[in-house]
Structure 1
Amino acid sequence: MANKANETVMPPFTTFNFLVELNVAGRSSPLCSAAFAECSGLEMSMELKTIREGGNNTQPIHLQGKLSYGQLALKRGMTTTFDLWTWFEDVLQRKGDWWNVSAQVVMLGSNREPVATFVLTGCRPVQLRAPALNAKEGQIAIEEMTIAYETLRLEQ
Protein backbone atom coordinates (compact mmCIF):
# COMPACT_ATOMS: atom_id res chain seq x y z
CA MET A 1 0.00 0.00 0.00
CA ALA A 2 1.35 3.45 -0.97
CA ASN A 3 2.00 6.01 1.71
CA LYS A 4 0.02 9.21 0.91
CA ALA A 5 2.54 11.35 2.80
CA ASN A 6 5.32 10.26 0.41
CA GLU A 7 3.27 11.13 -2.68
CA THR A 8 3.32 14.85 -1.87
CA VAL A 9 7.03 15.09 -1.08
CA MET A 10 8.71 17.48 -3.50
CA PRO A 11 12.41 17.48 -4.31
CA PRO A 12 14.34 20.25 -2.52
CA PHE A 13 14.89 23.59 -4.26
CA THR A 14 18.40 24.03 -5.54
CA THR A 15 20.13 27.41 -5.58
CA PHE A 16 22.22 26.89 -8.71
CA ASN A 17 19.28 27.02 -11.11
CA PHE A 18 17.84 30.55 -11.40
CA LEU A 19 17.00 33.36 -13.82
CA VAL A 20 17.18 37.13 -13.28
CA GLU A 21 15.08 39.51 -15.36
CA LEU A 22 14.90 43.32 -15.16
CA ASN A 23 11.79 44.94 -16.64
CA VAL A 24 10.80 48.56 -17.34
CA ALA A 25 7.10 49.37 -16.85
CA GLY A 26 5.35 49.86 -20.18
CA ARG A 27 7.93 47.99 -22.25
CA SER A 28 7.41 44.51 -23.60
CA SER A 29 11.08 43.52 -23.74
CA PRO A 30 13.32 43.18 -20.65
CA LEU A 31 15.87 45.86 -19.75
CA CYS A 32 18.69 43.56 -20.76
CA SER A 33 19.49 39.93 -21.38
CA ALA A 34 22.26 39.03 -18.97
CA ALA A 35 23.14 35.84 -17.16
CA PHE A 36 24.70 35.90 -13.70
CA ALA A 37 26.56 33.19 -11.81
CA GLU A 38 25.55 34.48 -8.35
CA CYS A 39 22.56 36.29 -6.90
CA SER A 40 22.24 37.34 -3.26
CA GLY A 41 20.47 39.97 -1.17
CA LEU A 42 16.89 38.74 -1.27
CA GLU A 43 16.10 39.76 2.28
CA MET A 44 13.63 41.58 4.49
CA SER A 45 14.23 42.71 8.07
CA MET A 46 11.63 43.88 10.52
CA GLU A 47 12.60 46.15 13.38
CA LEU A 48 10.92 45.10 16.61
CA LYS A 49 9.83 47.53 19.29
CA THR A 50 10.06 46.01 22.74
CA ILE A 51 7.73 47.19 25.48
CA ARG A 52 8.11 46.23 29.12
CA GLU A 53 4.77 45.93 30.84
CA GLY A 54 4.64 47.09 34.44
CA GLY A 55 4.28 44.16 36.85
CA ASN A 56 5.26 41.61 34.16
CA ASN A 57 9.00 41.17 34.67
CA THR A 58 9.35 37.88 32.79
CA GLN A 59 7.90 38.58 29.37
CA PRO A 60 8.55 41.54 27.05
CA ILE A 61 5.95 42.52 24.44
CA HIS A 62 7.24 42.81 20.86
CA LEU A 63 5.50 45.11 18.39
CA GLN A 64 6.07 45.36 14.66
CA GLY A 65 8.37 48.20 13.61
CA LYS A 66 9.83 49.43 10.34
CA LEU A 67 10.51 47.02 7.50
CA SER A 68 13.75 47.27 5.53
CA TYR A 69 15.06 45.43 2.51
CA GLY A 70 18.50 44.31 1.42
CA GLN A 71 20.25 45.05 -1.84
CA LEU A 72 20.31 42.58 -4.70
CA ALA A 73 23.89 41.64 -5.59
CA LEU A 74 24.43 40.05 -9.00
CA LYS A 75 27.92 38.69 -9.57
CA ARG A 76 29.92 37.40 -12.53
CA GLY A 77 27.48 38.33 -15.27
CA MET A 78 27.66 37.98 -19.02
CA THR A 79 25.80 40.07 -21.57
CA THR A 80 26.19 41.06 -25.21
CA THR A 81 24.86 44.62 -24.71
CA PHE A 82 25.68 47.71 -22.68
CA ASP A 83 22.09 48.10 -21.42
CA LEU A 84 23.02 47.83 -17.73
CA TRP A 85 25.64 50.55 -18.12
CA THR A 86 23.11 52.70 -20.01
CA TRP A 87 20.51 52.15 -17.27
CA PHE A 88 23.00 53.25 -14.60
CA GLU A 89 23.91 56.41 -16.56
CA ASP A 90 20.27 57.27 -17.35
CA VAL A 91 19.24 56.96 -13.69
CA LEU A 92 22.23 59.10 -12.72
CA GLN A 93 21.22 61.79 -15.24
CA ARG A 94 17.46 61.33 -14.56
CA LYS A 95 16.81 60.60 -18.24
CA GLY A 96 14.04 58.52 -19.75
CA ASP A 97 11.55 56.19 -18.06
CA TRP A 98 14.15 54.09 -16.25
CA TRP A 99 12.71 54.93 -12.83
CA ASN A 100 9.98 52.28 -12.79
CA VAL A 101 12.10 49.13 -13.03
CA SER A 102 11.12 45.82 -11.47
CA ALA A 103 13.10 42.62 -11.19
CA GLN A 104 12.21 38.97 -11.01
CA VAL A 105 14.49 36.28 -9.62
CA VAL A 106 13.04 32.94 -10.70
CA MET A 107 14.12 29.73 -8.98
CA LEU A 108 13.87 26.74 -11.30
CA GLY A 109 13.22 23.15 -10.30
CA SER A 110 15.17 20.13 -11.52
CA ASN A 111 12.90 20.02 -14.60
CA ARG A 112 13.74 23.70 -15.43
CA GLU A 113 10.18 24.76 -14.54
CA PRO A 114 9.70 27.80 -12.25
CA VAL A 115 8.99 26.82 -8.63
CA ALA A 116 9.26 30.24 -6.94
CA THR A 117 9.61 33.83 -8.11
CA PHE A 118 10.93 36.73 -6.05
CA VAL A 119 9.45 40.01 -7.35
CA LEU A 120 11.30 43.24 -6.57
CA THR A 121 9.85 46.66 -7.34
CA GLY A 122 11.33 50.16 -7.37
CA CYS A 123 14.76 48.94 -8.46
CA ARG A 124 17.66 51.41 -8.71
CA PRO A 125 21.25 50.61 -9.62
CA VAL A 126 23.68 51.25 -6.77
CA GLN A 127 26.94 49.78 -8.05
CA LEU A 128 28.20 48.43 -11.35
CA ARG A 129 31.71 47.05 -11.46
CA ALA A 130 33.64 45.83 -14.48
CA PRO A 131 36.22 43.06 -14.10
CA ALA A 132 39.92 43.77 -14.02
CA LEU A 133 41.24 44.02 -17.55
CA ASN A 134 43.87 41.33 -18.02
CA ALA A 135 44.83 39.95 -21.44
CA LYS A 136 45.98 36.63 -19.94
CA GLU A 137 42.62 35.76 -18.39
CA GLY A 138 39.23 35.30 -20.00
CA GLN A 139 37.24 37.35 -17.51
CA ILE A 140 33.54 38.04 -17.78
CA ALA A 141 31.77 41.23 -18.79
CA ILE A 142 30.25 42.32 -15.45
CA GLU A 143 32.00 41.55 -12.20
CA GLU A 144 29.21 42.77 -9.90
CA MET A 145 26.01 44.82 -9.99
CA THR A 146 24.17 45.94 -6.87
CA ILE A 147 20.53 46.99 -7.06
CA ALA A 148 18.48 48.63 -4.30
CA TYR A 149 14.77 47.82 -4.25
CA GLU A 150 11.68 49.17 -2.46
CA THR A 151 9.59 46.01 -2.04
CA LEU A 152 10.08 42.25 -2.17
CA ARG A 153 7.45 39.55 -2.38
CA LEU A 154 7.46 35.83 -3.07
CA GLU A 155 5.17 34.30 -5.68
CA GLN A 156 4.84 30.52 -5.56
Structure 2
Amino acid sequence: MAQTGQLVDPYRNFNFLVQIDGITQAGFSECSGLSSTTEVVEYREGGDNTTVHKLPGKTAYGDITLKWGITDNLDLWNWRQQIIDGQVVRKHGTLVLFDFDASTERARWNFIRAWPTKCELPSFSAKGNEVAIETLTLAHEGLTRA
Protein backbone atom coordinates (compact mmCIF):
# COMPACT_ATOMS: atom_id res chain seq x y z
CA MET A 1 0.00 0.00 0.00
CA ALA A 2 1.34 3.44 -0.95
CA GLN A 3 2.22 5.87 1.82
CA THR A 4 0.62 9.26 1.95
CA GLY A 5 3.12 12.02 1.16
CA GLN A 6 3.83 14.95 3.41
CA LEU A 7 1.79 18.05 2.65
CA VAL A 8 4.05 20.88 1.52
CA ASP A 9 2.72 24.42 1.71
CA PRO A 10 3.58 26.77 -1.16
CA TYR A 11 6.20 29.42 -0.51
CA ARG A 12 5.13 32.96 0.34
CA ASN A 13 6.04 35.83 -1.96
CA PHE A 14 7.27 38.40 0.60
CA ASN A 15 10.70 36.97 1.54
CA PHE A 16 12.79 37.70 -1.52
CA LEU A 17 16.05 39.32 -2.55
CA VAL A 18 17.04 40.76 -5.92
CA GLN A 19 20.76 40.79 -6.71
CA ILE A 20 22.17 42.65 -9.72
CA ASP A 21 25.87 42.56 -10.69
CA GLY A 22 27.73 45.26 -8.79
CA ILE A 23 24.61 46.95 -7.42
CA THR A 24 23.78 46.93 -3.74
CA GLN A 25 20.23 48.10 -3.13
CA ALA A 26 18.93 47.88 0.44
CA GLY A 27 15.73 46.11 -0.55
CA PHE A 28 12.95 46.00 -3.08
CA SER A 29 9.32 46.17 -2.10
CA GLU A 30 8.22 44.48 -5.31
CA CYS A 31 9.65 42.48 -8.20
CA SER A 32 7.28 41.51 -11.01
CA GLY A 33 7.16 40.59 -14.68
CA LEU A 34 9.51 37.62 -14.71
CA SER A 35 8.00 35.57 -17.51
CA SER A 36 8.72 33.78 -20.76
CA THR A 37 6.44 33.19 -23.73
CA THR A 38 7.10 30.96 -26.71
CA GLU A 39 5.44 31.94 -29.96
CA VAL A 40 3.22 29.33 -31.64
CA VAL A 41 3.93 28.80 -35.34
CA GLU A 42 1.06 27.16 -37.19
CA TYR A 43 2.03 24.84 -40.05
CA ARG A 44 -0.30 23.10 -42.50
CA GLU A 45 1.04 19.98 -44.10
CA GLY A 46 0.08 19.16 -47.69
CA GLY A 47 -2.43 16.33 -47.95
CA ASP A 48 -3.64 16.86 -44.38
CA ASN A 49 -6.42 19.39 -44.81
CA THR A 50 -8.03 18.87 -41.40
CA THR A 51 -5.15 19.54 -39.02
CA VAL A 52 -2.89 22.49 -38.34
CA HIS A 53 0.38 21.53 -36.67
CA LYS A 54 1.59 23.85 -33.94
CA LEU A 55 5.34 24.27 -33.61
CA PRO A 56 7.37 26.28 -31.09
CA GLY A 57 8.73 29.57 -32.42
CA LYS A 58 10.89 32.21 -30.77
CA THR A 59 10.84 32.73 -27.02
CA ALA A 60 10.46 36.23 -25.57
CA TYR A 61 11.04 37.32 -21.98
CA GLY A 62 8.83 39.80 -20.14
CA ASP A 63 10.28 42.99 -18.71
CA ILE A 64 11.12 42.93 -15.00
CA THR A 65 9.70 45.70 -12.84
CA LEU A 66 11.46 46.59 -9.58
CA LYS A 67 10.01 48.91 -6.93
CA TRP A 68 11.74 50.28 -3.85
CA GLY A 69 11.58 53.12 -1.38
CA ILE A 70 13.85 55.97 -2.43
CA THR A 71 17.06 56.31 -0.38
CA ASP A 72 20.44 57.98 -0.86
CA ASN A 73 21.67 55.00 -2.93
CA LEU A 74 22.10 56.07 -6.57
CA ASP A 75 23.38 52.79 -8.08
CA LEU A 76 20.21 52.03 -10.06
CA TRP A 77 19.73 55.69 -11.03
CA ASN A 78 23.32 55.85 -12.34
CA TRP A 79 22.86 52.60 -14.30
CA ARG A 80 19.77 54.07 -15.97
CA GLN A 81 21.66 57.30 -16.67
CA GLN A 82 24.38 55.31 -18.48
CA ILE A 83 21.71 54.03 -20.90
CA ILE A 84 20.42 57.57 -21.48
CA ASP A 85 24.00 58.67 -22.17
CA GLY A 86 24.40 55.94 -24.82
CA GLN A 87 26.49 53.51 -22.75
CA VAL A 88 24.57 50.23 -22.80
CA VAL A 89 25.79 48.36 -19.73
CA ARG A 90 24.14 44.95 -19.39
CA LYS A 91 24.09 43.12 -16.08
CA HIS A 92 23.07 39.69 -14.86
CA GLY A 93 20.76 39.33 -11.90
CA THR A 94 19.04 36.90 -9.58
CA LEU A 95 15.76 36.73 -7.71
CA VAL A 96 16.04 34.59 -4.59
CA LEU A 97 12.98 33.35 -2.70
CA PHE A 98 13.43 32.54 1.01
CA ASP A 99 11.44 30.47 3.49
CA PHE A 100 9.66 32.00 6.52
CA ASP A 101 12.94 32.33 8.42
CA ALA A 102 14.25 34.72 5.72
CA SER A 103 17.56 32.83 5.56
CA THR A 104 16.76 29.45 3.96
CA GLU A 105 16.84 29.76 0.18
CA ARG A 106 13.96 27.90 -1.50
CA ALA A 107 14.12 29.01 -5.14
CA ARG A 108 16.37 31.04 -7.43
CA TRP A 109 15.79 32.55 -10.87
CA ASN A 110 18.60 34.08 -12.90
CA PHE A 111 18.11 36.69 -15.61
CA ILE A 112 20.83 37.65 -18.09
CA ARG A 113 21.95 40.68 -20.07
CA ALA A 114 19.52 43.07 -18.40
CA TRP A 115 19.45 46.82 -18.89
CA PRO A 116 17.07 49.51 -17.59
CA THR A 117 14.49 50.72 -20.12
CA LYS A 118 12.39 52.95 -17.91
CA CYS A 119 12.59 54.77 -14.58
CA GLU A 120 9.48 56.15 -12.92
CA LEU A 121 9.52 58.47 -9.94
CA PRO A 122 6.66 58.57 -7.43
CA SER A 123 3.89 61.13 -7.35
CA PHE A 124 4.54 63.62 -4.60
CA SER A 125 1.84 65.18 -2.43
CA ALA A 126 2.09 67.45 0.61
CA LYS A 127 -1.06 65.74 1.92
CA GLY A 128 0.37 62.22 1.86
CA ASN A 129 2.56 60.24 4.23
CA GLU A 130 3.36 57.18 2.12
CA VAL A 131 6.85 55.94 1.32
CA ALA A 132 8.19 57.45 -1.93
CA ILE A 133 8.47 54.45 -4.30
CA GLU A 134 10.74 54.49 -7.36
CA THR A 135 10.17 52.04 -10.22
CA LEU A 136 12.71 50.65 -12.67
CA THR A 137 11.87 48.46 -15.67
CA LEU A 138 14.52 46.05 -16.98
CA ALA A 139 14.66 44.34 -20.36
CA HIS A 140 16.60 41.07 -20.38
CA GLU A 141 17.46 38.18 -22.69
CA GLY A 142 16.93 35.04 -20.65
CA LEU A 143 15.46 33.51 -17.54
CA THR A 144 16.50 30.26 -15.85
CA ARG A 145 15.61 28.53 -12.61
CA ALA A 146 18.66 27.44 -10.66
Q: TM-score, normalised by structure 2?
A: 0.84
Q: 1:145 to 1:37 in 2, by over 3 A?
A: same
Identify which of 95, 120, 127 aligns with 2:111: 120
2:81 aligned residue: 89
Provide Cα deviations, 1:30-70, integer angstroms capped at 9, x if missing partner. Answer: 31313222211111011111112234344321111111111
2:19 aligned residue: 21
1:108 aligned residue: 98
Q: 1:146 to 1:36 in 2, by over 3 A?
A: same
Query: 1:79 & 1:118 partners in 2: Cα distance?
Result: 26
Q: TM-score, normalised by structure 1?
A: 0.79
Unaligned runs of 5+ in 1: 24-29
Deviation at residue 10 of structure 1 after TM alignment: 2.5
Unaligned runs of 5+ in 2: none
Provide Cα deviations, 1:127-147, integer angstroms capped at 9, x if missing partner. Answer: 111212334433434431111
1:35 is the counterpart of 2:35 = no
Equivalent residues, number: 144
Q: Is the 8 A contact 1:77 1:144 kept in 2?
A: no
Q: Which amino acid aligns with 1:13?
A: Y
Q: Is the 8 A contact 2:82 2:89 kept in 1?
A: no
Which 4+ stretches in 1 moved above 6 angstroms? none
Q: Percent identity?
A: 32
What RMSD over aligned residues (CA atoms) do the two structures have, in Å?
A: 2.2
Give SS of 2:27's match.
Answer: strand
Identify which of 8, 20, 23 aligns with 1:10: 8
